[in-house]
Chain A
Amino acid sequence: MTSPLIERTDAAATAGARLRRVQPTLVLAILVLVVVLAWAVAPGFFTPVDPVQGDAAAALQAPSFRHLFGTDATGRDMFSRTVYGAIHSLSGAIIAVTVGLVLGTLIGVLAGSIGGVADDILMRLVDVLLAIPALLLALSIIILLGFGTTNAAFAVGITSVAAFARLVRSEVVRVRHSDYVEAAFGSGGRYLAVLVRHVLPNSLTPVIAYAALHFGTAILAISTLGFLGYGAPPPTPEWGLMIAEGRNYVATSWWLTTLPGLVVVLVVVSANRLSAALASRR
């Protein structure tokens, strides 16, 4: 009634003001993600060197202009391997996030909108899923499905279903009890129409932000599986696998683990930054 806040009714002006106040860290984060995405799409554009074929004469060379990230024991260019590795990590992360998002949203929406016994059963299943350590669960799934990048990504996705389901359910329950949803039923809305028109659009904003956050986590998880040898088989230039292979040379050739590791850290941090921006945009 006595809000001192100034209500701006001009949406265009608001959007303009938002654009003018550029956040440098967000721009940087988006830049990092765009570059990595470009690596995944057109690796040949960034490096002419083959990522798998090594030059034995140039083994274990420190970073230089010729080899930006140095070379490994078989003389393969590490920068080239990192660039070509982007597609494995990114596509893996996308699969993982999609699996988590779709299955999680499905469970969450069902539990939140039906309620009652269905809610109880679904959410107890989710509790069970949450009780198993994520890595253990991912490893078990991979052993069931077989090794490989796609299976590893799928396993990582399954481990995140529970968190997505919980988040979606809480949002759906919140929105479902709002006046406007009741009003939609009151004006003759059918169950599905109300679900699609009102409940879903209003509950998905935090879920999208969480998906972006999970994108970073998924890259990390897939790299972890690669590092442990459950992901892509050698000589695939997968980031986690590359770090694992460089492990034996940490004392002498630091670049083998450090530089690909830095790339992973940068991408994860960037995804988190983007997620924070999405979450605050409510």
Chain B
Amino acid sequence: MTTLPQKILPQDLAAAASSAGAAPLLDISNLSVSYSSRGERVRMVHEVSLSIRPGEVLAVVGESGSGKTTTAQAVIGLLAENGQIDGGSIRLDGTDIAGWSPKQFESVRGQRIGLIPQDPNNSLNPVKTIGASLSEVLRIHRWGDKRATRARVIELLTRVGIPEPEVRARQYPHELSGGMKQRVLIASAIALQPDLIIADEATSALDVTVQKRILDLLDDLRAESGTALLLVTHDLAVAADRATRVVVMKDGRVQESGRTERVLGSPRADYTRTLLRDAPSFAAGYRTPRSLPGTLSRDLPGAGETESVPEEVPGIRVTHLVQEFARGRRAEPFRAVDEVSFTVPRGTTHALVGESGSGKTTTARAVVGLVRPTTGMIEVAGQDLAALTGEAARRFRKTVQLVYQNPFSSLDPRQSIAQIIGEPLRNYGRTTAAERAAAVADSLDHVALPRVLAGRRPRELSGGQRQRVAIARALILRPEVVVLDEAVSALDVTVQAQILDLLERLQDELGLTYLFISHDLAVVRHLSHTVSVMNRGRVIESGRTADVFGSPREEYTRTLLDAIPGRTPVTAPVTATPTSPHTP
């Protein structure tokens, strides 16, 4: 449990006072939404009430299936085809829009309410240039003539901080990075200066540093034009940093709502407490040295400084690893991993952190033996991987196992859970069906899954359960080294906390060595003993997690750490008081 300082700045009080007087811009009361599925109606949102005043940031927080996205979709009239509003009202400036037709909503969308979608990579038309996509928004709403539209597009791109807007406007989405694309989508959301912007997990798919820049940008825009912001997120830390008020949702019901400092500082609902406890950013402290094998805790080597524990063979030793990928005949090969070295003592966790494209996943795949290093050496449990070929390499796979990021794609949809977990056993030596069944049941116990799941298919399991199955499959061969590639990134915080606990427990019980790949520094702090920070294929800083995170030497590490949401004590951001009403 954490205690968050109750720090309220004077300007917050002023803002609260001024906005309390203003009429709410959006007022949802007793909203109920249901979906019909195969002839049955299932209610997903139960009598939800919330309101947003002009210039305010309201965060709707909850895990998947909590109904937060459904609520946001109802506001903008974009419920799925089988969705239906059963009751309640959605008042936008006093007008109830709950029962409006799609035609009527066209006048609201873009004009009054802007939407920033979840996944920037799938939200832009791939065959249209950025400029064309943006001017389409303006054209639909008859914003102005061709020349004015063009000028406005450039102005918008400049506004959201895209360098060389004239060049970018002529480019296609695939030529832009994820962060850039999200900026374009923000530009399209603010194009018509709406009163309210809905950001539905708008930054969840982005690196922390990019996420910070995008959220800063939204803050600026809000302060500038007094736009209200409805932030739909699963990340309590983001809500803590950015929102004036928070609504916590679970199973389609509002659990708690109120000012951010109050809700997160002294939560009333049990569920809010659970969320706060499970969110890695709020769980204070580094991993206790208790779980380190006795002798090692004394002098844990900083990664990269090899040979400091000569008496023991390390779990993983990577020396001067270089990984290059060909880029066609003419071009120089692309160097994804550049002279990376680190050592992981047995029974400890080493984390590779960095933004996407930093080479951490490529390094992980090389350690598992899925890609051959261009140069450099990788030793796993004392065995040089390069010396292994063919059948010997296959036999060695027993020693090192990989858990994938996405539990939805790493399990064969046609196999039963028992077949999935038991398959590695079939690959190594003869086992009878009965022996395998017993081993599978044992594994299920290990990862705390009920044994009845053995007969199910992956699609019948939740994301968290699937990831446990993936872990069980990796562990059934009793490997010495487990590589976890963003293995908990796709999970809700509560499930994430359970999986992290499980990993920690299994490490203590079985003496496993983990190589933990993550962009989430809060999780890394929680689980790993040592860490290497990677940037553009190089390790720029490494050592004990507490040292690196506590007193980073490199500017880049500091940037990464500063970008973690929820690190600063909870204080409400300054609420901009809208100066003038919206004029279209």
Contact = CB atoms under 8 A, between A and B. Distances in A.
Interface in B452-466: 456-457, 460-462
Contacts of B44: 4, 6
Interface of B: 35, 37-40, 42, 44, 64-65, 67-70, 73, 80, 83, 118, 200-201, 204, 232, 234, 368, 370, 394-395, 397-398, 401-402, 404, 406, 409-415, 423-424, 426-428, 456-457, 460-462, 470, 473-474, 477, 490, 492
Given A11-B460, A188-B424, A193-B427, A6 B42 contact: yes
Contact of A183 (B35, B69, B404): B404
25 contacts: A1-B490, A2-B68, A3-B64, A4-B67, A5-B80, A6-B44, A7-B462, A9-B461, A10-B460, A179-B409, A180-B409, A180-B411, A183-B404, A184-B423, A186-B401, A187-B401, A187-B427, A187-B474, A187-B477, A188-B394, A188-B397, A190-B427, A193-B426, A198-B412, A202-B414
A17 interface: yes
Contacts of A21: 38-39
Contacts of B83: 4
Given A2-B201, A182-B370, 18 more contacts: A1-B492, A2-B200, A3-B64, A6-B35, A8-B37, A10-B460, A11-B460, A14-B38, A180-B412, A184-B423, A185-B397, A187-B423, A187-B424, A188-B428, A190-B427, A201-B414, A202-B412, A202-B414
Contact of A2 (B37, B64, B80, B490): B64
A186 B370 contact: yes
B427 A189 contact: yes
Nearest to A201: B414
Contacts of B409: 178-180
A20 interface: yes
Interface of B is mostly: loop
A17 B39 CA distance: 8
A197 interface: yes
Contacts of B415: 197-198
Given A6-B42, A193-B427, A180 B394 contact: no
Contact of B234 (A2, A14, A18, A186): A2
Contacts of B461: 9
Contact of A188 (B398, B457, B470): B398
B423 A197 contact: yes
B64 A1 contact: yes
Contacts of B404: 179, 183
A135 B540 CA distance: 66
Nearest to B44: A4
Given A21-B39, A179-B404, A2 B118 contact: yes
A4 B69 contact: yes
A189 B413 CA distance: 17
A4 B69 CA distance: 7
Most A CB contacts (10 A, CB to CB) among B68, B414, B461 go to B414
A181 to B, nearest CB: 8
A18 B38 CA distance: 8
Contact of B397 (A14, A187, A197): A187
A186 B427 CA distance: 10
Contact of B413 (A1, A9, A183, A202): A202
A173 to B, nearest CB: 16
Contacts of A189: 423, 427
Nearest to B455: A11
A6 B36 CA distance: 9
A6 B424 CA distance: 33
Interface string A67-99: 000000000000000000000000000000000
A17 B457 contact: no
Interface residues of A, number: 33
Interface of A: 1-11, 14, 17-18, 20-21, 178-180, 182-190, 193, 197-198, 201-202
A180 B413 CA distance: 9
Nearest to A205: B414
Nearest to B234: A1
Name the 9 nearest CB pairs between A and B, nearest first.
A2-B69, A188-B427, A187-B424, A179-B410, A17-B38, A179-B409, A180-B412, A188-B397, A4-B70
Q: Identify the interface centre among A6, A7, A21, A188: most chain B CB within 10 Å of its CB.
A: A188
A14 B38 CA distance: 9
Contact of B402 (A2, A183, A193): A183
A4 B73 contact: yes
B351 to A, nearest CB: 21
Contacts of B40: 17
Contacts of B394: 188, 190
Contacts of B456: 11
Given A1-B234, A17-B38, A188-B394, A183 B201 contact: no
Contacts of B414: 201-202
Contacts of A187: 397, 401, 423-424, 427, 473-474, 477
A252 to B, nearest CB: 54
A208 B80 CA distance: 31
A186 B38 CA distance: 39
A185 B371 CA distance: 13
Given A179-B410, A188-B395, A9 B424 contact: no
A53 to B, nearest CB: 53
A186 B397 contact: yes
A186 B368 contact: yes
Contacts of B401: 186-187
Nearest to A184: B423
B253 to A, nearest CB: 15
A17 B40 CA distance: 10
Contacts of A186: 368, 370, 397, 401-402
Contacts of B234: 1-2
A197 B424 CA distance: 12
Nearest to A17: B38
Contacts of A1: 64, 118, 201, 204, 234, 490, 492
Contacts of B457: 11
Nearest to A9: B460
Contacts of B473: 183, 187
A189 B412 CA distance: 14
Contacts of A188: 394-395, 397-398, 424, 427-428, 477
